[in-house]
Structure 1
Amino acid sequence: MKTDDKTIVKDYFNAVGFERWRNIYGDGEVNTVQKNIRIGHKQTIETVVSWLKTDENLAQLTVCDAGCGTGSLAIPLAEAGATVYASDISEKMVGEAETQAKATLGENHNINFSVSDLEAITGNYHTVICLDVLIHYPDRDIPTMVKHLANCAESRFIISFAPKTFFLTLLKKIGEFFPGPSKTTRAYQHSEAEIIKILQENGFEIKRQGMTSTRFYYSRILEAVRT
């Protein structure tokens, strides 16, 4: 990935983006658009947590939460018994996630936090999860990112992204005519077929699929398992 792409995302989430998204992911005061995004993101988290709980083996698993934000996924997975390794490119986000984890789980929680961009994540985990992160990166960076994360997954890789469809592309174009305080970093959509192709080329097949659709939030969720 080009350095400027990482820098844009890192600087944003360590500055104005941190306060904005902490409010969106939490219970702070938000506007109508942000509240809708909060609802959608929560639904995506709930979908993924329900998938993992259905398998009834979370207590035996190591999970990498790549791009953990404020801990909205890592904390419920740790509550369910998983050993979680959570990282984010933003030091402020990781700090907030640690604060939330201690408040919810106590001082001796089973989440290991670190500051890292996606391509710098190391180690091997039963399950790697990357939710609502790819929207910040252009198509040219996706093959390298997805391949790297897939290589860290021993058995399963769960990923979500804003799907590239005619309707969503048109909606995004319309939104660009109305800049305002709800704007964040550049929002990128990605081809589902291309994401699946990358996963298949790296030894995975799709097991489960989900879709979260609200007025201002669209997220395609794929669960891929090693063949």
Structure 2
Amino acid sequence: MTNAVDDKSVVREYFNATGFDRWRRIYGDGEVNKVQRDIRKGHQQTIDTVMAWLEADGNLKGLSICDAGCGVGSLSIPLAQAGAVVTASDISQKMVGEAHERAIAALPAGPIPSFQASDLESLTGKYHTVICLDVLIHYPQDKAAGMIQHLSSLAESRVILSFAPKTAFYSALKKVGSFFPGPSKATRAYLHAEKDIVQILESLGWKIERKAMNKTQFYFSRLIEAVR
């Protein structure tokens, strides 16, 4: 069994068990500790940036969007509220169930996103935009390349990815154990060099359109939009 396969199994098991409870709290609005509150703030910055990009384009209503690695629906729900046609997935069945419940509560008049439990490589269909936020951190570079290639095959006009950037500072932070601190961290954390992500996208025929960096004390995420 390869390391990449091990990572997928670890991620699935973690987010169906202890990780589910932890991240459901972080992505909610209840009481959390200082570190979790900081991560919540950073993650929300990434969500807000993506929504601002899409809303600025003025064509979000009716747009077909795949939210790959949707978690508890932090992005899927506001996309649906803005009128997008959202297909959302997550490797964790528990996360998908939570996202569905939150969507029903937030969108009483519907329509709600279509949710499914699936790993990224098993996704099918064609979408105007494919978005994958804060997922690549769980996978090494060789695995990430294949995942990006598959996500690219689903997208007609745009791919939006976020990843933890590989810089000297963040590499040092990870090395000393400050990366996603706390007793509940149970998955490996992988950093990716921006040039490597860009190279993969450009080799697949994409042009980098917009970039952003969202960071707090314990959260850092580089955001890239690629278009055709």
TM-score normalised by L of structure 2: 0.95
What is the CA–CA distance in structure 2 between the aligned matches of 1:81 and 1:198, rounded to whole Å? 31
Q: CA deviation at 1:186?
A: 1.1
Q: CA deviation at 1:66?
A: 0.2
Q: 1:97 to 1:177 in 2, by over 3 A?
A: closer
What is the CA–CA distance in structure 1 between the aligned matches of 2:111 and 2:51, rounded to whole Å? 18
What is the CA–CA distance in structure 2 between the aligned matches of 1:107 and 1:80, rounded to whole Å? 13
Q: 1:125 to 1:179 in 2, by over 3 A?
A: closer
* 2:65 maps to 1:63: yes
**Runs of 5+ unmatched residues, structure 2:** none
**Runs of 5+ unmatched residues, structure 1:** none
Give the equivalent residue in structure 2 for 1:94. Answer: 96
Identity percentage of aligned residues: 61
What is the CA–CA distance in structure 2 between the aligned matches of 1:63 and 1:179, rounded to whole Å? 32
Contact 2:93 2:117 in 1 (8 A): yes
Amino acid at match of 1:32: K
Give the equivalent residue in structure 1 for 2:8. Answer: 6
* 2:122 maps to 1:120: yes
Give the equivalent residue in structure 1 for 2:74. Answer: 72
Give the equivalent residue in structure 1 for 2:165. Answer: 163
Q: CA deviation at 1:62?
A: 0.1
* Superposed CA RMSD: 1.6
Amino acid at match of 1:8: V
Give the equivalent residue in structure 2 for 1:190. Answer: 192
What is the CA–CA distance in structure 2 between the aligned matches of 1:113 and 1:182, rounded to whole Å? 26
Q: CA deviation at 1:107?
A: 6.2
What is the CA–CA distance in structure 1 between the aligned matches of 2:25 and 2:211, rounded to whole Å? 28
Equivalent residue of 1:58, what SS? Answer: coil
Give the equivalent residue in structure 2 for 1:138. Answer: 140
Give the equivalent residue in structure 2 for 1:213. Answer: 215
For 1:10-29, list aligned pairs within 5 A.
10-29=12-31
Q: CA deviation at 1:34?
A: 1.1
Equivalent residue of 2:176, what SS? Answer: helix
Q: 1:40 to 1:177 in 2, by over 3 A?
A: closer
Equivalent residue of 1:8, what SS? Answer: helix
TM-score normalised by L of structure 1: 0.96
Equivalent residue of 1:175, what SS? Answer: coil
What is the CA–CA distance in structure 2 between the aligned matches of 1:159 and 1:178, rounded to whole Å? 20
